[in-house]
Structure 1
Amino acid sequence: MDSTRTSLDNIRKPIPLPVDRPDPLGLPADLERLRTELPVAPMIFPDGPPGWLVTRYRDVRAALADPRLGARRPHLNAHVRASLVTAGEMAVLRPSDLMASDPPDHTRLRRLVVGQFTARRIAQLAPRIQAIVDQHLDALAAGPHPADLVTAVALPVPSLVISELLGVPFADHDRYQRLTTELVSLDRTREQLLTSKAEMKEYLLGLIHAKRTRPADDLIGDLIRAQTSDPAQVTDDEIAALAQLILIAGHETTANAAAIAVLLLLRPPRLWDTVRRRPELIGPVIEETLRYATANQFGLLRIAREPLTIAGQPIATGERVVLHLPAANRDPDHFPDPDRFDPHRPSTAKHLSFGHGPHHCPGDQLARLELRTLLTTMLHRFPTLRLACDPDQLPTHRDRVVHGLARLPVDFTP
């Protein structure tokens, strides 16, 4: 009993967010311990008073839908690094968007965006997505190999899809891919971060102004038309902030999920051949990949707008709460044997990788369609695809908010 009390006393002391992974796809060991012994744990923040870390599935899911926890905060990643930008600077560089706003702003902005991601609109994109996938797989087949699947396929395919949906010229992809990488990186200096934010905003505002004189049938064009019909609906700064969020989320997260899905199918026991024979497993493979390798690797930061209680722990107004999606997606109480990749898992589709509640990602079906198209086509065209690397030694994006592989060398027999 004394040892148990000592263990509980130790974990009740605020600790920094656990971030060190034992392998490319494993979670920090401390997360499992906290989820079991203290699912709402006191946490040290890099720049301010301590807050709370929530790791259990049922608590994270309930908190995501709780209106008492606000998404509006001056710095999106203050739980990972000290804030480099003041609240005033953030308000200028990035006003309300879907990820960092609360009602009524969030309700107003979400209503403008969700219409772009209807099942009908996504279905209309299917032929173009297939063409983009075919184009890049043709290049992979014809090019030298071994090849890096990340740079050859996984990154450019969703980047091209989201740029077309938004109306961002793919000719500018080197620029916006550089900027999105800079904006999701956590190893930037204050000056570098401010420069990247200002450049992205200037680029998107310039695009908005150009589209106002030359209307186009794309998401930015639709937002401009909504603004024209009712200027109170959305400002230019908000259109730019929405475009930035969709641009980042639309290609960074899907690209990383695509590469990790291929890795999971190719590493021992090589499920690639099984899924080729049973294409009905592709959907479950996608959902299990999203659960097993959650893109948001450090959790979502929320602010208590009023007092509340999570799993018996009182949370005071103004306190910061981190909802750890990867830990929740590996909760054994909801996903038995959670550290095993299992496409046959019946509960996989209930993962929280796209969020839950009012902030549920509106682009989830687009991401699923892209992943399904890419995996289906690759399985058909590259039956001999194999890893050209040690799967346990692959470099990952340790300093980015989006979890993923820095590279994935693959080979195949022509």
Structure 2
Amino acid sequence: METGLETKVAFGDMMQAFEAFKDANDERLDQIEKRMSADVVTAEKVDRINRAVDEAKARLDELTLKSRRPQLSGETTEAQPAAREHKAAFDTYVRKGESQGLSALEAKAMSVGSGPDGGFLVPPEVEAEIGRRLYAISPLRSIGSIRQISAALYKKPFSTNGLANGWVGETQARPETGSITLAELQFPAMELYAMPSATQTLLDDAVVNIDQWLAEEVQLVFAEQEGIAFVTGDGVNKPKGFLSYTKVADASWSWGNVGYLATGVAGGFAATNPSDRLIDLIYTLKIGYRQNASWVMNRRTQGLIRKFRDVNGNYLWEPAARPDGKATLMNFPVTECEPMPDVATDSFALGFGDFASGYLIVDRVGVRVLRDPYSAKPYVLFYTTKRVGGGIQNFEAIKLMKFGLT
């Protein structure tokens, strides 16, 4: 079946499942209202259909990602002879292990750290393709801010006492401004690696597009490891996740900490009007961040919140209006992020904020590949590395929900 048609069918299946879910959940809520408890069969039915919605959405996301994925052509789109030469030399190195061409090119370009021990840079279009695929499937990359760097460390200064400001007339003398106290945030780029393997038969097959094969092999490994690090990474040889910073009650928030609201219930929402706390969390953000905000949660938390209705009986969670869109919660987009914790006592299972302003991802330019035909004979291993870092750059822009008493 054509991908476009498959996507339309999957979108229809997801919408149909959601309508069935709403009917079943309405029945469950009516039973609770009339009898103070829901029938076991009805509750099981709701959970079953809820899982079906998740499965249909996952299938739709997979097909949407597939339709967005550009295919690498067999020839480089670069018109520069040097780019074509690099691509041809890289192809020869991957297929046959002959590194003389790449060594000569990198020596000519005065590259540092290249050679048999450090691997060789992939062609620019392959690096760009890996970056595009990571953007499409890595949750935090789709909403965070991304910056490319050429050094091992990115430093960002910020003012701890705010910028001097005020109004002044056109011809008035400008008042002398006070001294600004600056501090510095640092974002080191850490090494992330993947080691795909191939048979020599595959490498000898001229029809196989080596560039596309490599991008496909490393994308899921890189995306999975990045996704975990951007959420829970401790900053030691990996990016620092936004859940790893010191968390304080939002009423006591100060720069350098992440503010949170508690649900008031250990391991859950309040039994009555559970959505009220979601509204409170929305309005902990200043309006400048709130208008660009997103929810971040895993699919199990999303399944829990999907059951919430407002006073008029409307569901707060709504599926995407089109196949390539995002579900929304109270009209804010939902980013499904599996590394987020489940709802449990004192867990921080729900994030809300302007992640483009709040979280910075730094990518060091250059993806390297080292060919290893010896360690896993008869397979050829390709030790592929990229450098990436991350951390919070604006502590005002991200808030959390704590599923606890205080």
Q: TM-score range by the shorter chain?
A: under 0.3
Structure with higher strand content: 2
Q: Which structure's CA Rg is the greater one?
A: 2
Using structure 2 for the length normalisation, give the TM-score.
0.24
Structure with higher helix content: 1
Higher relative contact order (CA closer than 8 Å, sequence separation 6+): 1
